[in-house]
Amino acid sequence: MTEVIDVKMTTPEAADFLGITIQHVHKLLKTKGLHYQKSQNRIFFGHEAAKSLFNTPFKRKIITFQIVKGGTGKTSLAHSFAIRASLYGAKVLCVDLDQQGNLTSAFNFNPDKTPVIVDIINEGINVRDAIINIYPGVDLIPSRIENAVLDNIIMLNKHPLDRVYSNILEKIKTDYDLIIIDCPPALGQSVAAATLASDCVIAPLTPEQFSLSGLKITHDELSGLSRKYGKKIDLKIVLNKFDNRTALSSEVLTTLLSHDIYKNMLSKSFIRSCQEFPNTIYTGSTIFSTLKNSSAKEDIDLFTREILELNGIRTTN
Ligand SMILES: Nc1ncnc2c1ncn2[C@@H]1O[C@H](COP(=O)(O)OP(=O)(O)O)[C@@H](O)[C@H]1O
Ligand SMILES: [Mg+2]
């Protein structure tokens, strides 16, 4: 039996990305003998076919979603970005560092019987034994409440901040094109260690919870760590739950664009407010599981292309 395609890249989406016609994409799928499905007159495919079709030369990266505030979309963006990246052919590992395990539940995974990061650090469990496959091309190191002691463990056992997570990830880094770390809304040893293991930190901001001081804390912390450990880590700010009809959203955008430092860190793509984010997670699904068009899909697609620098690559022939 051929595998059911859970998360989907459609032929119009692929055609748009590659700058070719939908018919051409369809022909490529056929001639390359790739696995695709058809439903509601739409043709779609998954990670394996995407890998072959797009043949994307990814730059290997570790990206952390963090900001001190909760509810700004760290988990939602990490989740949908991971899936979208896999649909461009990337092999992705997600690491859930938040003891609330929201990313783990977004992936519908029950972590009760599997090791989490704290077990790897404390009990020397092999990191490979903590990795769960969720979708083709998407793996997860889950989290549960026991990870709440990570800050203390790192401090009390004097684990070097710049090595504790990077040593773990080092062993498996070459297995993946992209590693995505989802952090709790906190500043502490664990989040600092995740920052130091990363090439890039993405801080989602929402207009309704916007605070320049919150952003400043994250930025200062990152600059401090970067200086102290001599490591270059990019900060990218992404506006989430953006609604250009509201004065608040425009105000926040203007504030950021007129800020000397932050204007250069703001991602070009915004994520609009869209019910598909909470709805799909609530039903244990994802925004890329349905064939229905949504702004969530469009925005995460552009965001993924921007962060992974996919635009202009188009290598398929
Ligand atoms: N663009 C969006 N539009 C609508 N709801 C969103 C959007 N992004 C996130 N949400 C919702 O906001 C809530 C908080 O998001 P979440 O990703 O859990 O934030 P964090 O991880 O930063 O705490 C969730 O209910 C999520 O479904
Ligand atoms: Mg979260």
| CATH 3.30.420.40 at 56-307, yes or no | no
pLDDT over 80 at 2, yes or no:
no
The residue whose CA is least distant from atom 20 of ligand 1 is 71
Every domain of the chain with CATH number 1.10.1660 lies at 1-53
> Is the alpha carbon torsion for 151, 156, 157, 161 positive or negative?
positive
Instruction: State the pTM of this model.
Output: 0.97
- Report pLDDT digits (tens) over 50-80: 999 999 999 999 999 999 999 999 999 999 9
The residue whose CA is least distant from atom 15 of ligand 1 is 73
Every domain of the chain with CATH number 3.40.50.300 lies at 56-307
CATH architecture for residues 1-53: Orthogonal Bundle (1.10)
- Ligand 1 contacts CB of residue 114 (under 6 A): no
Distance of alpha carbon 114 from alpha carbon 142, whole angstroms: 8
Atom of ligand 1 nearest to the CA of 273: 3
Cα(8) to centroid of ligand 1, in Å?
22
* Residue of 75, 76, 303 to mutate, ligand 1, most atoms within 8 A of C-beta: 76
Mean pLDDT over 188-214 rounds to: 93
Order of strands, sheet of 132-135, starting from the edge strand that comes earlier in the sequence: 132-135, 138-141, 92-96, 178-182, 61-65, 200-205, 234-239
> Is the alpha carbon torsion for 223, 65, 125, 173 positive or negative?
negative
Confidence of residue 236 (pLDDT cuts 50, 70, 90): very high
